[in-house]
Amino acid sequence: KPVDENYKLAIKLAKQIPSSTSVYNQAQEAILKWNEKLKQVVGVEGFSDGIYLYHNEKEFDRYIILEKQGNTILGTRYTFQSDDILCFRGVIRRNLVEEVIGIFSGIDFRPEIKDIDPIDLSKWYRISWDKASKSSNEALQYAYYYRHHNIESCRKDFVEQIP
């Protein structure tokens, strides 16, 4: 919280500096640098609400599509063109999704609910939707066109399993 208050104070003071002064340019530069540092401190937790795409570079075709609403995360982790799919939900703290509950396809494809290890998103690479939409990579095209469907499918699974 003190970081937020200092940031707000710095912005307020910077806006009071006349734009014709050299101090104004220094203040604007400081604000930009502060914004970058603040992003690093809060990680994904500081992102605006929305749907995001992540790729695991170590596991070539592994992706996460997640929806962030406040500190709540709903997502799907999957390997492209396979049955390896996990719907999950949890709470984001910096870059870590914690208190993760997952829904797997169990025996006879009946869903099973399990606690999952935290997901460290700092070990995943975030891909912009703009890049995914323009890519010739089939996996990125799939993620782009089916992102809303995948999130809604997970939301439905959780409603059915945990009413």
Q: What is the pLDDT of residues 46-82, one digit of tens each?
A: 778 899 999 987 877 899 999 999 889 999 999 888 8
The structural domain count of the chain equals 2
41 and 57 assigned to the same domain: no
15 and 39 assigned to the same domain: yes
pLDDT tens digits for range 104-139 = 865 666 778 889 999 998 889 889 999 999 998 899
60 and 24 assigned to the same domain: no
Question: What is each CA distance from 135 to 6, 16, 54, 132, 143, in whole angstroms?
Answer: 41, 44, 15, 5, 11
Domain span at residue 136 reads 48-161
106 and 35 assigned to the same domain: no
pLDDT tens digits for range 149-160 = 999 999 998 888
52 and 91 assigned to the same domain: yes
